[in-house]
Amino acid sequence: MKIQTFLCFLLLTSGFSSAVAQEFHENEIIKFDSLKILLNNYNKHDKHKVMLMNEYAQSCFHHSDFKQGLILTREARNLSKKINFINGEILYLRAMSNFCSGSLSLYYQKLSEWYKIDMNQKKIDLGAQFKIEPRPDNLNPELKLDSLKSARQHFISTNDKESEAHILHLMLSVLSELGRFPESDALHIQALQLFIDINEPFPVFDLQLQQLADLTKKGEIEESKKIEVELALTISRTNDLKLIALMTDRMAEFYNANNRYKLAIEYFLRSQEALEELGDKEMLLNVYYTSGAMYEHINMNLKAFEQYSKIVELVKNSPDYRLYQVYAQMAYTLISLNRFEEARKYMELSLQCITPERENNFRARYFDAMGQILLAQENYKEAIPIFEKSYDFFRLDKNLGTVFINFNLAKCYRNSGDLEKSIELGLLAYNSAEKYNMLSMKINSSLFLSEVYDQNGQLSQAFKFLKIHQILKAESELSDNANNLADIEIQTVLNKSNREIEKLEKERIMKVQQSKIQRVWIFSITGALLSALLVAFILYRNNKNKQKANKILETTLSNLKSTQAQLIQSEKMASLVNSLPELPTRF
C-alpha cells in the first residue's frame, strides 16, 4: 500500500494541556515585560542592543503588537548596518520569518540559513544567537486582524511600503482563516502591487501562485493559464540560485496537488539541482521524498527507489534522523519490482527505527507489506491473516490504510474462492473510497466488484459497477487529457522562452566576442600608433642629434682651418726670419 504524505515523514508531536498552555502564556507575559524594561534601560548602541531589539520584536509578534514589532525589526536592522554587525542581518531575516506565515515565512527562514552558511564559509564570527520561538497558534484571529489593520494605517502614514506589504500578506492568511474571502481577494491585489513596487520577486511569485491555485479551484481556465505561463516565464528568467530553488519547489508542490505529476517532477528535479548546489539538506530531504512518492504514483518504481535511497545516503551520518518512513516506502517500491527479499529487509529496518507514538502505524505497514508480498506470490490464504493484522493496527491508528487492506483482502478471498466475502470487503473499500473521494480506489474497486459480481452470477450488479467504473474512468481520462494538454501548452511556452533566452545568450556571447575583437583591434592599432610615435620620436631625436653633431663638426672644422691658417702663417714668419743676414752684435 502506498500512502504518500510528508506529514508522516516529519514527526510532529503535539503538546500542551490547558494547564501547561496557561503556564506558557503567563511566562510569555513575564518575558515580554522583562524585555521591554531591559531595552528601555539599555543605552548603548551596540550588537547587544540589536539582539535585544530583535528578541523584543519577536515577543511583540507573539502578543499581536505587529506595528511595534516591525518598527523594532527595522530599527535593529538599521543599527546593525551602522555598527557593521553582520549577524544583525541574520537576526532581521529570522525575525521576519517569525512575523510572516506560510511560504513567505519559509523564504525568510531559508535566507537566514543560507546567509549564515555564506558567512561561516568566509570564516566570519557571527557571535551569539538568540532562540527564535514559533508564534503561538492560539492567537485570536479577530484580535490579530484588528492589530494588523492598525499597523497598516501607521505604515501607510509613514509611506513604508515594505512594512505595509508584509502586513497585507499576513492579513490574507488571517482573512482566509476567518473565511472572509471577498475581502481577502481585494487585499491580495494590493499586496501584490506593493511587492512589485518594492521589487521583491519571491513574494510577488508567491502571491501569483496563490492566485493560480484559487482560479484553478474555481475552474477559471483561461485566467489561470495566463498566470501559469507568467510564473513559468518568471522562473525561466531567474538567475538567482536561491530563488530558483524556492520557486521551483513551490511550483512543483502546486502541480503535485493538482495531479499534474509530469510537470511536478520536472520542477522538483530543477529544485533538487539548485538545492544540491546550495547544500540545503533539510529541503533536499523533502524534495527527494515527495518526488519519490510521485514516481511511485506513475509506476516509475525504480526511480522512486533511487530518490528514497538518496535520503538514506544524505542522513547516514545523522543518528538522530529516523528513517522508518523512508525504509517502508523503499520496501513498497521493491514489492512492485518483485524484489521481495530486499523488500522484507527494508521493512525490518523500518521497525527498528520507530517510536512508540508511531508503532501502530508502522506495524500496520509492516504487515501490509508482508501481505502484499504473499499476494504477489499468489499465496492468498497465507496472506489473509497477515492483512487482517495490518487492518487491526491501522484501525487503532485511525488510518485510511484500512481502505487498501479491505481491497487486498477482497482480492485474496476472490482468489481463494470465497466470492461473497470478496464482495463484502470490496464494497467496504469502494464505499470508503467514495466517502473520502479516493478516485483511484473508486476506479479500481468498481471494476473489481463488476468482475466478482459477474463471476458470482449477479449480472445486474456487475453491470451497475461496470457502468460506474466506465463513468469514473472517462472522467479521469478527461481530467488527464486536460492536464496533459495544459502541460503541453506550458511546455511549449517554456521551450519558446528557453529558445529566446538561448538566442539572447548567443547574441550576448557574440557581442562579448565582438567586443573582445574590437578591443584587440583597438589595442593593436593603439600599439601600432605608439610604435610609430616611438619610431618617429627616435628618428626625430636622431635627426636632432645628427644636426647637433653636424654643427659641432662644422665648428671643429672651422677651428681646424683657422688653426691651420695660423700655423701656416707662423711657419711663413719663421722662414722669413731665418732668411735675414745675421747682424753684428754691439757690445
pLDDT at position 504 is 61
CB count within 10 Å of CB 15 equals 8
User: pLDDT tens, 506-523?
Assistant: 666 777 777 777 777 777
Q: Name the packing angle between helices 18-41 and 47-62 (round to 10°).
A: 140
State if pTM tops 0.85. no
Sign of CA dihedral 148, 149, 154, 157: positive
Lowest-confidence segment of 280-294, 452-466, 536-550 by average pLDDT: 536-550
Burial (Cβ within 10 Å: 0-12, 13-18, ≥19) of residue 86:
middle
Secondary structure (DSSP) of 513-566? HHHHHHHHHHHHHHHHHHHHHHHHHHHHHHHHHHHHHHHHHHHHHHHHHHHHHH
Mean pLDDT of 142-150: 93
CB 401 within 8 A of CB 390: yes
Instruction: Return the H-helix or E-strand segment holding 94.
Output: helix 87-99
Give the containing element (helix H, strand E) for 190.
helix 181-197
The residue type of 574 is A
For 104-120, what is the mean pLDDT? Answer: 89
Residue 542: the pLDDT is 74
Using DSSP's 3-state secondary structure scheme, residue 202 falls into: helix
> To the nearest whole number, what is the mean pLDDT of the chain?
83
Contacts 24+ apart (CB under 8 A), 517-524: none
* Cα angle 532, 533, 538; round to 5: 100
pLDDT at 4 over 70: no
State how far the alpha carbon of 418 is from the alpha carbons of 25, 371, 455, in Å.
Answer: 60, 18, 11
Q: What is the mean pLDDT of residues 82-103?
A: 91
Please enumerate in sequence order all residues whose Cβ is within 8 A of that of 126, keeping only pairs 6 or more positions apart, or say none.
86, 87, 90, 116, 119, 120
Q: Which long-range contacts (CB under 8 A, 24 or more apart) does 147-150 make?
A: 147/64, 147/65, 147/66, 147/67, 148/66, 148/174, 150/67
Least confident of 62-76, 290-304, 532-546: 532-546
Euclidean distance between the first and final Cα of the chain, in Å? 162
Q: Band of the pLDDT at 361, cuts 50, 70, 90?
A: confident
SS3 at position 404: helix
- The owner of cell 464505499 is 431
Do 97 and 112 meet the contact criterion of CB atoms below 8 Å apart? yes
Percent of the chain surpassing pLDDT 90: 50
Least confident of 186-200, 309-323, 437-451, 560-574: 560-574
| CA 20/CA 571 separation, integer angstroms | 138
Residue 356 DSSP label: G
Confidence of residue 351 (pLDDT cuts 50, 70, 90): confident
